[in-house]
Amino acid sequence: MNQSSTNTPLLDIKNQRIAFVHASWHTDIVLNSLEGFQAVMSECGYDISKVDVFSVPGAYEIPLQAKLLAKSGKYVAIACSGLVVDGGIYRHEFVAQAVCTGLMQVQLETEVPVLTAVLTPHHFHETGEHIEYFLRHFIKKGRELGRVCDSAIRLTAVSKAQLAE
């Protein structure tokens, strides 16, 4: 049975708090993922007024904020979004790898699902064509993030309930 497609009696999804952490770089693009994320979470029955949004300076700062939020015990999941592009003082591959590794470590240490839509395009250029593409793409990625978040919340609730038996 696919847990994400069932309404599990163990979880009152309307009352669950979710954190959404995003990098401040390219917010005009990155916040489109929040739009897609909230749309899907609403479709799945979540109260999107219980999605708390946190802005951090850049993608590199996302894992620490995610860990602090996970350790607070207030959130059933933490969704993260950012756009890591080449051209800064660090190579973008290094930053992207550090963010992904950090987020995986957070969820393993805290047992709170930490999900990522931190994207690293190979050749991002701040031209109208690329910006338009990524504006649309981040809505799509936000919707995907919402579906994964719902599935992870439900699966975690079922797994914890089974372990408690």
- Which of 17, 91, 136, 143 does the annotation list as catalytic? 91
Whether 7 is covered by a domain: the verdict is: no
Whether 48 is covered by a domain: the verdict is: yes
Distance CA 10, CA 13 (A): 9
Whether 8 is covered by a domain: the verdict is: no
Whether 10 is covered by a domain: the verdict is: no
> Which amino acid would we find at residue 84?
V
Three-state DSSP at 45 gives coil
As averages over each run of 10 residues, the pLDDT of the chain (165 residues) reads: 46 90 89 95 96 95 97 97 73 79 95 89 66 79 95 90 80
Whether 1 is covered by a domain: the verdict is: no
CATH number at residue 138: 3.40.50.960
Per the annotation, the verdict on 154 as an active-site residue is no
pLDDT value for 150: 96
- Within 24-158, strands assigned E span 51-56, 77-83, 114-119
Whether 26 is covered by a domain: the verdict is: yes
| Domains held by the chain: number | 1
Task: Supply the range of the domain harboring residue 137.
Answer: 15-164
pLDDT value for 121: 66
Q: Note the pTM of the prediction, 2 decimals.
A: 0.87
